């Protein structure tokens, strides 16, 4: 069992495939999260905006629908629709599913991050916004330069959590023919149909990645805390 | 010499739901005035101050400043707020910025915005000039951003020097004491060269030993001729520094006068009983 795995992994250069899988997984999770943070911040700011005027009210409704849509359907379904329905419908052909996965993960994560970010923005003292407005800065400038940076600091642990969720969730991209971590390990077992070692190693690899990320988030948190308190 | 009118509030009212907090307040503030507003808690004095720069939208009345009515929602309030400084009870320094950046943020951002809008205007002027015989002159962009930044920093350091905090320029708000924070907050307001500064109970959140240092800075400001409207519980400050004291009770100005007259010979019964409690 062990020997077979070693043979597949090293002698037959299975590790190249695995490294590619790690790369695809990281790409999807990292870029997905970045897109998610941008979308989430925009939605969160729209949702906490004062609603005196018509435009913010309309935008707010759109955001509510967006969140309902992306939180209300499984990500697998979103991937499948994106790759097998929307791409052909738009007449786009792609070499690999990775860009599609990145976009879907970003859109999906944006819905979740928006709620995280909203709670982060609401956790920042209202006085910060008032002080910004009182010196003559606009709502947008104060949000961008004062409130959101403090909000991000507050929600960093939760964002780390979201990143971990995304990393693990990437195991579904094999549905759209992307070779991620899961697929690359599965292929190691395919010749013999013995998946014991590949799947145990798969679990270990995910675990190591997640632990590394939690450690990195902790470091980042400590560093951001230093600027304050 | 006639003193110039800086701020003229007429019949200002404010409602929160069914509660009428301000029931028509009139106040004229002239250049160099130091107006102290006192009154029992919940009487609307803080709300009044926050209405003056529209942190709370007034429900009615007018606030004339620089020839425009701030109570009118169509007026671009951001431009006027640059000329109305505000100091808060809870200091409200920007926690994510150093002391120096706290002071320079507004001047630099405003300069950057003005510059950007001028460049946009110039762009369209250039295009329209292509089709014109007599060219429209372009707007002068003035100083570059790095220049503005350097000047803002220099001015911030000067201001910090006057309050003896120049060595704290790189510190973050959480690393300095309450009294220091409030002095920095005053300097932050000053950095925009405001025509009037509003103080919302600037010493109420301070430890007793730190009240003095903040009041000293305010006294220096008043002596330097700054126009100030101060909501305060410091009767000593109101009596010594202000040239007019206003007693707000139940959403209206119940009594006003020069400090000697106001404290020495209060007319209304309400003020007499208030003063007997706080003095």
Closest CA to B192 of B247, B88, B110: B110
Mean pLDDT of A7-15: 79
User: Vertex B266, ends B262 and B271: CA angle to 5°?
Assistant: 100
CB-based contact A213:A163 (threshold 8 Å)? yes
pLDDT tens for each residue of B105-150:
999 999 999 899 999 999 999 998 888 888 888 888 888 889 999 9
pLDDT for the residue B171: 93
Residue of A nearest to B82 (CA): A136
> Alpha helices, DSSP H only, in A81-175?
87-90, 98-123, 126-134, 139-142, 148-169
Which residues in chain B have Cβ-Cβ distances shorter than 8 Å to A137? 78, 105-106, 109-110
* CA distance to A50, A61, A64, A113, A122, per residue, from A58 (Å): 12, 5, 10, 21, 21
Per the CB < 8 A criterion, the answer to whether B100 and B141 are in contact is no
pLDDT tens-digit series, residues B166-206: 999 999 999 999 999 999 999 999 999 999 999 999 999 99
d(CA B70, CA B64): 6
The stretch A25-29 carries a mean pLDDT of: 93
A126 touches chain B (CB under 8 A): no
Report the alpha-carbon distance of residue A21 to residue A6 in Å, rounded. Answer: 18
Which contacts (CB < 8 Å, 24+ apart) does range B203-206 have?
Answer: B203/B232, B203/B233, B203/B234, B204/B89, B204/B233, B205/B89, B205/B90, B205/B91, B205/B178, B206/B178, B206/B179, B206/B182
Chain B interface includes A125 (CB < 8 A): yes
Nearest chain B residue to A150, by CA: B96
Give the confidence band of B7 by pLDDT, cuts at 50, 70, 90: very high
Task: Tell me the chain B residues in contact with residue A123 when contact means C-beta distances shorter than 8 Å.
Answer: none
Q: State the pLDDT at residue B142.
A: 80
| Mutate: best of B90, B96, B185, partner A, most A CBs <10 A | B96
Tokens (6 digits) for A215: 């450690």
Residue A206, Cα to own-chain centre: how many angstroms?
15
Distance from CA of A141 to the nearest CA of B (A): 9
Closest Cα in chain A, distance from residue B247 (Å)? 25
> A103 or A225: which carries more pLDDT confidence?
A103
Mean pLDDT of A97-103: 92
User: What pLDDT score was predicted for residue B1?
Assistant: 57
pLDDT(A85) > 80? yes
Q: Please, are residues B192 and B105 in contact by the beta-carbon 8 Å criterion? A: no
pTM of the model: 0.85
Indicate if the pLDDT at residue A50 is higher than 90: no
On chain A, the residues whose CB falls within 8 A of the CB of B82 are 135-136
Angle A98-123/A148-169 helices, nearest 10 degrees? 140
Per the CB < 8 Å rule, is B88 touching A146? no
% chain B with pLDDT above 70? 99
User: What CA–CA distances, in Å, run from A146 to A99, A140, A141, A143, B11?
Assistant: 33, 10, 8, 6, 35
β-bridge mates for residue B22, sequence order: B14
Interchain proximity B55–A132, CB inside 8 Å: no
| pLDDT (average), residues A186-201 | 87
Mean pLDDT of A177-194: 86
**Rounded mean pLDDT of A34-46?**
95
Provide the pLDDT confidence category of residue B9 given band limits of 50, 70 and 90: very high
Q: Which of B55, B78, B172 sits opposite A228 (nearest CB)?
A: B172
CA distance B187 to chain A (A): 12
The residue with greater pLDDT, A50 or A77, is A77
**Is residue A116 very low, low, confident or very high in pLDDT (cuts 50, 70, 90)?**
very high
What is the count of residue pairs from A and B with beta carbons less than 8 Å apart?
70
Q: Is A128 on the interface with B (CB under 8 A)?
A: yes
- B112 to chain A, minimum CA–CA distance in Å? 12
Residues of B whose CB is below 8 A from A229 = 174
How high is the pLDDT of residue A228?
Answer: 60
How close does chain B come to A124, measured CA to CA in Å? Answer: 10
What is the pLDDT, as a whole number, of residue B89? 94
Min Cα separation B245/chain A (Å): 24
How far B265 CA sits from the closest chain A CA (Å)?
A: 37
Residue of A nearest to B79 (CA): A136
Express each pLDDT in B152-173 by its tens digit: 999 999 999 999 999 999 999 9
List pLDDT tens digits, range B50-100. Answer: 999 999 999 999 999 988 999 888 888 999 999 999 999 999 999 999 999
Interface test with B, best of A127, A131, A137, A152 (most B CBs within 10 A): A131
Of A95 and B232, which is predicted with more confidence? Answer: B232
CB contact under 8 A, A131 and B85: no
The pLDDT score that the predictor gives to residue A227 is: 63
User: CA-nearest residue of chain B to A224?
Assistant: B96
């Amino acid at each position: 069992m062990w020997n077979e795995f070693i043979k597949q992994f090293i002698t037959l250069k299975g590790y190249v495939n695995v490294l590619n899988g790690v790369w695809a997984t990281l790409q999807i999770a990292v870029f997905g999260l970045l897109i998610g943070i941008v979308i989430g911040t925009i939605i969160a700011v729209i949702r906490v905006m004062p609603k005196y005027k018509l435009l913010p009210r309309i935008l707010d409704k759109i955001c509510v629908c967006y969140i309902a849509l992306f939180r209300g359907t499984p990500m697998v379904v979103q991937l499948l629709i994106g790759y097998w329905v929307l791409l052909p419908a738009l007449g786009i052909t792609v070499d690999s599913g990775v860009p599609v996965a990145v976009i879907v993960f970003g859109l999906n994560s944006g819905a979740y991050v928006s709620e995280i970010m909203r709670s982060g923005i609401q956790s920042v003292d209202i006085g910060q916004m008032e002080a910004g407005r009182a010196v003559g800065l606009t709502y947008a400038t104060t949000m961008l330069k004062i409130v959101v940076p403090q909000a991000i600091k507050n929600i960093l642990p939760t964002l780390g959590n979201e990143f971990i969720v995304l990393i693990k969730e990437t195991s579904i991209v094999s549905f759209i023919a992307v070779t991620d971590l899961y697929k690359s390990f599965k292929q190691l077992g395919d010749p013999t149909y013995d998946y014991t070692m590949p799947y145990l190693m798969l679990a270990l690899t995910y675990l190591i990645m997640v632990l590394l990320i939690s450690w990195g988030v902790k470091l980042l948190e400590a560093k951001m805390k230093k600027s304050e308190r | 010499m006639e003193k110039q009118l800086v701020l003229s509030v007429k019949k200002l009212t404010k409602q929160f739901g069914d509660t009428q907090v301000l029931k028509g307040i009139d106040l004229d503030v002239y250049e160099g005035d130091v107006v102290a507003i006192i009154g029992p808690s919940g009487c609307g004095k803080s709300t009044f101050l926050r209405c003056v720069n529209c942190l709370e939208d007034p429900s009615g009345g007018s606030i004339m400043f620089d020839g425009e009515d701030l109570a009118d929602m169509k007026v671009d309030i951001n431009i006027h707020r640059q000329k109305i400084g505000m100091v808060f009870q809870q200091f409200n320094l920007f926690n994510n910025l150093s002391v120096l950046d706290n002071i320079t943020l507004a001047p630099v951002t405003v300069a950057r915005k003005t510059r950007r809008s001028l460049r946009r205007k110039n762009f369209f002027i250039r295009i329209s000039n292509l089709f014109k015989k007599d060219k429209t002159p372009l707007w002068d962009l003035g100083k570059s951003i790095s220049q503005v930044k350097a000047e803002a920093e220099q001015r911030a350091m000067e201001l910090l020097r006057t309050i003896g905090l120049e060595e704290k320029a790189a510190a973050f708000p959480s690393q300095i004491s309450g009294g220091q924070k409030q002095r920095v907050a005053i300097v932050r307001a000053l950095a925009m060269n405001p025509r009037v500064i509003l103080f919302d109970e600037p010493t109420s959140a301070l430890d007793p030993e730190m009240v003095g240092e903040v009041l000293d800075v305010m006294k220096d400001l008043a002596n330097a001729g700054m126009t100030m409207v101060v909501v305060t519980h410091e009767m000593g400050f109101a009596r010594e520094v202000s040239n007019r004291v206003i007693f707000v009770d139940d959403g209206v100005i119940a009594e006003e006068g020069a400090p000697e007259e106001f404290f020495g010979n209060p007319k209304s019964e309400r003020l007499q009983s208030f003063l007997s409690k706080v003095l």
